[in-house]
Chains A and B, each alone.
Chain A
Amino acid sequence: MAILTARDVTKRFGGLVALSDLDLDVEERSLHSIIGPNGAGKTTFFNCVTGFYRAEEGRVTFDGLPLEGLRPDEITQLGIARTYQNIRLFANMTCLENVLVGMHVHLRSTWVDALLRSPRMRREEAEAYREARRLLEYVGLKGKGDLLAKALPYGEQRRLEIARALATKPKLLLLDEPTAGMNPRESMDTMAFIRRLRDDLGITILLIEHNMRVVMGISEIITVLDFGEKIAEGPPEQVRNDPRVIEAYLGTRRIAGVGA
Chain B
Amino acid sequence: MRRSFWQRFFSPITLFLWAFRIVVILAILVGSFRTLTAGKYAGDQWIDVIVFGLSQGSIYALIALGYTMVYGILRMINFAHGEIFMSGAYTAYFVAAAFLSSGFLNRNPVVSLLVVIAVAMATSTAIALLVERIAYRPLRRAPRLVPLISAIGASFFLQYTFRGFFGAGFQAYPDWNVLKGEVVLAGIGVLRTQAVAIVGALFLMTVLYLFVMRTKTGTAMRAVSEDMEVAAMMGIDVDRIIVITFGVGAAAAGAAGVLYALVFRQVWFFMGFVPGIKAFTAAVLGGIGNIPGAMVGGIFLGLIESAGPILFLDGLGIPSPNQLKDVIAFVMLVMVLIFRPTGILGERLATKKA
Direct contact between the two chains A and B in their complex (CB within 8 A): yes
Chain A residues engaging chain B, CB cutoff 8 angstroms: 65-66, 69-70, 74, 77-78, 85-86
B interface residues, tally (CB under 8 Å): 7
Contact A78 B1 (CB under 8 A): yes
CB proximity of A92 to chain B, nearest CB, Å: 9
Q: Kindly state the separation between the CA atoms of A69 and B5 in the bound complex, as whole angstroms.
A: 8
CB proximity of A59 to chain B, nearest CB, Å: 13
Contact A66 B2 (CB under 8 A): yes
Contact B353 A65 (CB under 8 A): no
- How many residue pairs, one in A and one in B, have C-beta atoms under 8 Å apart? 14
CB proximity of A244 to chain B, nearest CB, Å: 27
* B353 closest partner in A (C-beta): A86
Specify which chain B residues have a CB less than 8 angstroms from the CB of A86 in the assembled complex: 353-354
* A92 closest partner in B (C-beta): B143
CB proximity of A112 to chain B, nearest CB, Å: 21
With an 8 A cutoff between CB atoms, is B3 at the interface?
yes
Q: Kindly state the separation between the CA atoms of A85 and B354 in the bound complex, as whole angstroms.
A: 9
Specify which chain B residues have a CB less than 8 angstroms from the CB of A78 in the assembled complex: 1
Contact A69 B3 (CB under 8 A): yes
Q: Kindly state the separation between the CA atoms of A69 and B10 in the bound complex, as whole angstroms.
A: 12
Contact A70 B354 (CB under 8 A): no
Specify which chain B residues have a CB less than 8 angstroms from the CB of A70 in the assembled complex: 1, 3
Chain B residues 1 to 19 lying within 8 A of chain A, measured CB to CB, are 1-3, 5, 8
Summarize B's interface: helix, strand, loop or mixed: loop
Chain B residues 306 to 354 lying within 8 A of chain A, measured CB to CB, are 353-354
CB proximity of B348 to chain A, nearest CB, Å: 15
1/0 per residue, CB under 8 A from A, across B159-201: the answer is 0000000000000000000000000000000000000000000
Specify which chain A residues have a CB less than 8 angstroms from the CB of B2 in the assembled complex: 65-66
Specify which chain A residues have a CB less than 8 angstroms from the CB of B353 in the assembled complex: 86
Specify which chain B residues have a CB less than 8 angstroms from the CB of A65 in the assembled complex: 1-2
Specify which chain B residues have a CB less than 8 angstroms from the CB of A85 in the assembled complex: 354
CB proximity of A14 to chain B, nearest CB, Å: 12
Contact B1 A74 (CB under 8 A): yes
Contact A69 B1 (CB under 8 A): no
Q: Kindly state the separation between the CA atoms of A77 and B3 in the bound complex, as whole angstroms.
A: 14
CB proximity of B290 to chain A, nearest CB, Å: 18
The 6 closest A-B pairs by CB, nearest first: A69-B8, A69-B3, A74-B1, A70-B3, A86-B354, A70-B1
Q: Kindly state the separation between the CA atoms of A78 and B2 in the bound complex, as whole angstroms.
A: 11
CB proximity of B100 to chain A, nearest CB, Å: 57
Q: Kindly state the separation between the CA atoms of A70 and B1 in the bound complex, as whole angstroms.
A: 9
Specify which chain A residues have a CB less than 8 angstroms from the CB of B3 in the assembled complex: 69-70
Q: Kindly state the separation between the CA atoms of A66 and B5 in the bound complex, as whole angstroms.
A: 12
Task: Jot down 9 A-B pairs with beta carbons below 8 A, ordered by A.
Answer: A65-B2, A66-B2, A69-B3, A69-B8, A70-B1, A70-B3, A77-B1, A78-B1, A86-B353
Specify which chain A residues have a CB less than 8 angstroms from the CB of B354 in the assembled complex: 85-86
* A77 closest partner in B (C-beta): B1
